[in-house]
Structure 1
């Protein structure tokens, strides 16, 4: 019944045209606010998915690393125990250390990563080769796979160099003094190719043969920087991590993909909520319009309220009528806004209407992705804001008693 009254009040002709104008301004503001929230959240979803897919190319589902220090020692028994865990599909042993690469007068400090032959099946770095091929060589004839940023800094074309690069790697030493002859390993090395994933990796990492790097650093054959693990079911990463923790104990740190990039995900999540809060201001503006529209409607319907009072309608009935009017405005505006946002997102995914300027991105258009949770969040926000805006005029209407007689 209250919904019927609210609908009749909305579409009925008003004595003052300003009430209609304010009501439609309110609806338009809700349309803009709702559509903006859905679109911005969809863009954040698109970029978040893109970044996660890029980071997933380099970071594994799980990683075992030392809780302190740079290296850990793994026995054959421990490696067999890793293989025995059902959810583990494959794993790669890695050693990481900073090094210097030099090509004539050009040099670059890089993060050198020695990997075994399982690395190609544990990560998808080999699917992002920009030039040349993914080949780490052997311990006697190692090769480098560079990030494109390092390739540019050295002024080379990876995979086609005739003159080898000079490489300098610090050796493991207990001495506090660093001697170039004793504690720095120098060698010459050729490149096999370059990869392009994301600037954080492209400007930092160089991949090479695991055994070569162990020998250059004077590590034992069972000393590593970590173990990178590919899971059969990534959604069970936490459970598998607990199984690994039971095997290795507190001396080892076991991280899932989120924990390996916790600061990145935290910043992305913070940015998402900041933009959400800023765009909610549009809905707050709509709320002020709604207060004005409902207040004027209360004055417009004084005689109707008096008739309802005379017929014995309780206060909460009047309250529900004007709350229903507020929810009706919100439903019309929010529904239209969501339909507009849905249409724009679908068009963007199909036809890439809005491009990304600059030409330095992996894609040339704004990525978008719809999530049902965003629609639930925005719907809840619109309803809460509308309820608060409609509450005060509705309470005022329910407490006032108008006379049918004109004095």
Structure 2
């Protein structure tokens, strides 16, 4: 039997001479429980928002996207399209044109990005699931249509009826503005067929139009902005990406869905790290309650220390009793906090009882939660590490006073 651990467990659950010590011990355990719960719940909610954002971007973005390292556009003849199409796992190959333009709808004006897309765009994205009004139609009986982002539609005042066309105005290629500025611009009109909603970053930026419409409007000729690729679900995206990069060389970037929004993902990772460090710091502060609890316990048990010394207990054994006491407080708090944190996350996943404010203005109504096992393990390990270090100070320095007194 481990005598120090046995005595430490008795000290933990037994009533002390002073009720304040029981209160401080309860506060110590509660502080660790709350800190551990907060870490698990907050990080799980952040993981939920991150997964939600990546899901919506995944619905709008291609599996892989090829862009030039320099400049906005490149000649499509520079790409060995057949070599890329013949790579196992490639299902869809689409050339894309993206350029800025001024839009006019009624009396409203707005700058947006015109994205010329092919007919198979819906085949390698989930754009159909993002339509909030109208339909995803690019061509119907020879008439070309545009699908507008919700933010663009809001700024232009595009209503539900789609009665009026959107007028798109762009500068002509290689033309100087002279006496008549009208000769230096290209313009065309197109009716909206639907409105899509992803995230504000996308909604307020993009208008999707047929590829041929964008090609004529921007006079791009054989130049394109990017190539979007749809990959088989059973294929390894990383391996396909590397093979395409080897074919294209250093003049082109080949990015997966995650890398297409690298800055956003880096920002979210940084925010998660900062929140984690802040909560760990709060947990460290909360662990000072363990110091207080052990200090008071050592003072309360000074008579027991003298009795144990008289019975032949060594100073090392007595120190281990109070060291185990501190560790038990930390382990108990970590276990209960972890279980409660996971339970609350499960309740939110199953029942969505915590609603977002201003219900109806978001794509979801409740806080999203995603539990990542590595986060839980890391949190539990850090809490145990803090709990391991916290008792060392009072056990080493405060108990010394009573141990030396007993020896004398």
For normalisation by structure 1, the TM-score amounts to: 0.90
How far has the Cα of 1:120 moved from its partner?
Answer: 0.8
Alignment-derived partner of residue 27 in structure 2: 25
Label 1:77 to 1:347 Cα distance change in 2 as closer, same or farther (>3 A): closer
Alignment-derived partner of residue 364 in structure 2: 363
Residue 254 (str. 1) matches residue 254 (str. 2): yes
Label 1:314 to 1:133 Cα distance change in 2 as closer, same or farther (>3 A): same
Could you give the per-residue CA deviations for residues 115-166 of structure 1, whole angstroms, max 9, x where no partner exists? 01221111111211111111122896321100122222222236x4333222
Q: Which moved more, 1:211-220 or 1:20-29?
A: 211-220
Alignment-derived partner of residue 353 in structure 2: 353
How far has the Cα of 1:327 moved from its partner?
Answer: 1.5
> Which of 44, 47, 72 matches 1:45?
47
Mapped contact 1:61–1:234 kept (Cα < 8 A) = no
Alignment-derived partner of residue 63 in structure 1: 65
Could you give the per-residue CA deviations for residues 172-226 of structure 1, whole angstroms, max 9, x where no partner exists? 33x5658844542112221111111111111110000111211221222x42100
Q: How many Å separate the matches in 1 of 2:127 and 2:288?
A: 53
Alignment-derived partner of residue 90 in structure 1: 92
Q: How many Å separate the matches in 2 of 1:329 and 1:176?
A: 77
Mapped contact 2:79–2:248 kept (Cα < 8 A) = no
Alignment of 1:4-403 (within 5 A): 4-75=6-77, 78-137=80-139, 141-157=143-159, 160-173=161-174, 180-220=181-221, 222-233=222-233, 236-306=236-306, 316-358=316-358, 359-396=360-397, 399=400, 401-402=403-404
Q: Which ranges of structure 1 fall in alignment gaps of 5 or more residues?
A: none
SS of match in other structure, 2:139: coil
Q: Which ranges of structure 2 fall in alignment gaps of 5 or more residues?
A: none
How far has the Cα of 1:307 moved from its partner?
Answer: 5.3
SS of match in other structure, 1:142: strand
How far has the Cα of 1:316 moved from its partner?
Answer: 4.6
SS of match in other structure, 1:33: helix
CA RMSD of aligned residues (A): 2.6
Number of paired residues? Answer: 403
Label 1:177 to 1:326 Cα distance change in 2 as closer, same or farther (>3 A): farther
Label 1:104 to 1:228 Cα distance change in 2 as closer, same or farther (>3 A): same
Q: How many Å separate the matches in 2 of 1:17 and 1:210?
A: 78
Mapped contact 1:318–1:394 kept (Cα < 8 A) = no
How far has the Cα of 1:362 moved from its partner?
Answer: 0.5
Q: How many Å separate the matches in 1 of 2:88 and 2:313?
A: 68
SS of match in other structure, 1:261: helix
For normalisation by structure 2, the TM-score amounts to: 0.90
Mapped contact 1:43–1:367 kept (Cα < 8 A) = yes
SS of match in other structure, 2:209: strand
SS of match in other structure, 2:287: helix
Q: How many Å separate the matches in 2 of 1:151 and 1:6?
A: 67
SS of match in other structure, 2:102: strand
Mapped contact 1:135–1:193 kept (Cα < 8 A) = yes
